[in-house]
Amino acid sequence: MKRALTALMASCVVGGWVSAASAQAHVQPKHEIAFNRYYTVDQMYAHLRALERAYPEIVRVRSIGKSGEGRDLLVATVTAPDSDDRAKPAMWIDGAIHANEIQAGEVCLYTVWYLATNYGHNDRITELLDDYAFYVMPLVNPDSRVAWFETPSTPHNHRANQMKMDNDRDGLVDEDPAEDLDGDGSITQMWKRDPRGQWVRNRFDPRVFERVPDGEFGEWTYLGSEGIDTDGDGRVNEDTTDGHDMNRNWPADWQPNFVQYGAGAYPLSAPETRAIAEFCYERPNIAAFQSYHNTGGMILRGPGSSHRAREYPRADLRVYDELARAGEEMLPYYRYLIIHADLYNVHGGEATWASEGLGIIAFTNELWTAGKYFQRDVNDPNDEQMRRFRDRMQFGMTFTDYTEVEHPEHGTVLVGGLNKWSSRSTPTFMLEEECHRNFAFTMFHGGEMPKIAFDRTKVERIGTGGLWAVTVEVRNEKIIPTRTARAREKKIGRADLLTVEGVEVVASGELGDWWDKQMREVRHEPGRVLVEGGVPGRGSVVYRFIVRGQPGETLDIRYSSEKAADIATTIILSEQAD
């Protein structure tokens, strides 16, 4: 806190303000970013670099590797000035591993921007960055984001990476991509005039095709999605540039492609997933994990597969539940769901890897939900309501009007329909709120990473032979334990370490609570205790050391955890009142 105040005062001097407490509303960003629009890869990266230039003490941007097509994979490390991000608990935040789920990138960019802008101005943000570090990777899949912005797309394609893949298994690779026949940047629908067709156009709104009753004939036949059968195999757009689904490529319940479509050649076969995994394995201080996707308004936790349902210990589920319930309140129309039970089976997913492989608390947020269009108890708007929304609120921007196009096989066809900006991406006028609410939930999660301190201590003399009983309590004030039950069960990472130096430690043991008389003895190395279960969330552990020493001698006691900042205290051997 002391550092926070110093930084706060420093920035006040620079900024010329006198008021400290109420500064947030008046913070002048050193780098302005509009959050009512979407950014290409180059624009996104330019903003990250600009934030680093504007806040060099707080934001550090580095490339953790190259994408499949050779683009940088940028990660911003955000933490307090003059502090070591690896010496404190850290949170991994990423987005757009499915590149079509575009707003995930903007939520991440907003996170970096908000933290950097408000550090030293807002006490809570300042404390967050003093205590913790955040590793933010807005674009996990930059290659496909380029494809989504620059080549014809739908709301749903370019989800996978751009790895070469023979999608239709005909021995040729990427030989039948989609064709944008009307040049609107989106792959929409094709209709052909047909006197035996099953569809008619609505006479009041020609954008609407309606099915005629069975037994009657309409005027139009639906030909499928916009494109040409490039390889003459009778199928359209069946082998595009899209490759593997990188959210199925992680080494936790990874399954081969025939079980889990998109799994990739082997776990972490994609350069992007490998770069992230190696980054995380090298940083055991990562204690929380958030991945942004769209769509549907969900806060998701694992397991991804029903056969792993029992692999989430009850103690951990309490943590997940408490964080996510808060999220449901902060994110209107969002629901807290379990992937395998409420959605579908996902094998080898990213956030489930963080939960099951790294043993940390991890969520996937599915950004945007239909409930937010009208925000008045219309959770599932019908087609007519959606048309009104698009016409009146979006001024028609997410619909491409039908135009006639000459098709090599079908002759004259109509091409048009909902374009790539419809349905999945947050309407831009609501984007900033989407960013902020999700950012706030993620900060709530990150802000509950372990924070430990020595609480009560007690020194008692035993007999007259120079023996003392020294009892110490280590308390964690946050919801997340220093070691999840998952990590303990699967022996992930290092146990917490409680060490005593300075005097001879004769025996030691754990107490059930502060008043417990009996200790569960640590039989070996009593001065170097492995605390396998760590310090529970909003709880404490109590240890007693039987030491030999003269009055006035001191013990240096240190508690070290991979997922919490180390703490140390010095205790003097002397009679003391409780």
Partner 1 sequence: MILNQHRVGRSGCSPLLAALCVVAASGAAAAAPSAEVVRIGTSAEGRPVEVIAIGEASIGADGLSRDERPALVIVAGMQGHHAVGRATARAVGERLMRDHPDLLSGWTVYILADANPDGSARWSDQRGAVAESGRAPATLDEDGDGRTNEDGPNDLNGDGLITMMRVRGAIPAYGIEPSLTIDPDEPRLMRKPDAAKGEVATHSVWVEGIDDDGDGRFNEDGWGGASGGGVDFDRHFPIHWPEHEDGAGLYPLQRPAARAVVEWAQSRGNIVGVLVYGPHDTLASVPPAGKFGPLGRVSTGIENDDKSGYELVSEAFKKATGISRSAGEVDRGGSFLQWSYADLGVWTFGTPVWVRPDLVGSVGDKDDASAAEPEPSPMEEAIARDRTALAERGVPQELIEFIYATTDERAAIVAEMDAMTPEERNERMNLLRNAPMDVQQRVMALAQGQPDPMAPKIEPVPEPEKPVSKPKKRGDSDEAKWLAWIDDERAGSGFVGWTEVDHPQLGTVEVGGFAPGVRVNPPDELLESLADKQAAFVVELLGMLPTLVFDEPRVERVGDGLWRVSLTARNTGSLATVPASGVKARRLPGLIMALDPDLAVPNESIVSGRRVQTLETIAPSGEARAEWMIAAEEGSSVRIAVRSARFGDRGFDVRLGEGGGR
Binding residues (CB under 8 A) for partner 1: these are 166, 169-172, 229, 231-234, 251-259, 265-268, 277, 281, 305, 307, 347, 356-357, 409, 490-495, 497, 523-525, 530, 532
> b/e for 537-569, b at 16 or more Cβ within 10 A?
beebbbbbbbbebeeebebebebbbbbbbeeee
Q: How far is the CB of 292 from partner 1 (least distance, A)?
A: 23
Q: How far is the CB of 477 from partner 1 (least distance, A)?
A: 24
Q: How far is the CB of 309 from partner 1 (least distance, A)?
A: 11
* Cα angle 309-313-319, degrees, rounded to a multiple of 5: 110
179 vs 231, which CB is nearer to partner 1? 231
Q: How far is the CB of 349 from partner 1 (least distance, A)?
A: 14
265 vs 462, which CB is nearer to partner 1? 265
Q: How far is the CB of 197 from partner 1 (least distance, A)?
A: 21
**Those residues with Cβ within 8 angstroms of residue 46's Cβ, 6 or more apart along the chain or in another chain:** none
Beta bridge partners of 511: 519, 542
Q: How far is the CB of 369 from partner 1 (least distance, A)?
A: 30
Confirm if 159 and 245 have CB atoms less than 8 A apart. yes
Could you tell me the end-to-end alpha-carbon distance of the chain, in angstroms, rounded to an integer? Answer: 29
User: How much of the chain is in helix, strand and coil states, percent to nearest 5?
Assistant: 25, 25, 45
Confirm if 160 and 187 have CB atoms less than 8 A apart. no
Q: How far is the CB of 169 from partner 1 (least distance, A)?
A: 4
440 vs 497, which CB is nearer to partner 1? 497
145 vs 308, which CB is nearer to partner 1? 308
Q: How far is the CB of 212 from partner 1 (least distance, A)?
A: 29
d(CA 134, CA 44): 18
Confirm if 153 and 162 have CB atoms less than 8 A apart. no
182 vs 356, which CB is nearer to partner 1? 356
51 vs 351, which CB is nearer to partner 1? 351
142 vs 493, which CB is nearer to partner 1? 493
Sheet holding 133-137, edge to edge: 59-66, 72-78, 133-137, 90-95, 286-294, 361-367, 298-301, 335-338
Backbone phi and psi for residue 240, each to the nearest 5 degrees, phi listed first: -90, -175
**Phi-psi region at 463: left, alpha or beta (left = phi > 0; alpha = psi -120 to 50):** left
242 vs 253, which CB is nearer to partner 1? 253
Q: How far is the CB of 503 from partner 1 (least distance, A)?
A: 18
Question: How many CB atoms sit inside 10 A of residue 344's CB?
Answer: 9
124 vs 490, which CB is nearer to partner 1? 490
309, two tokens: 């349902």
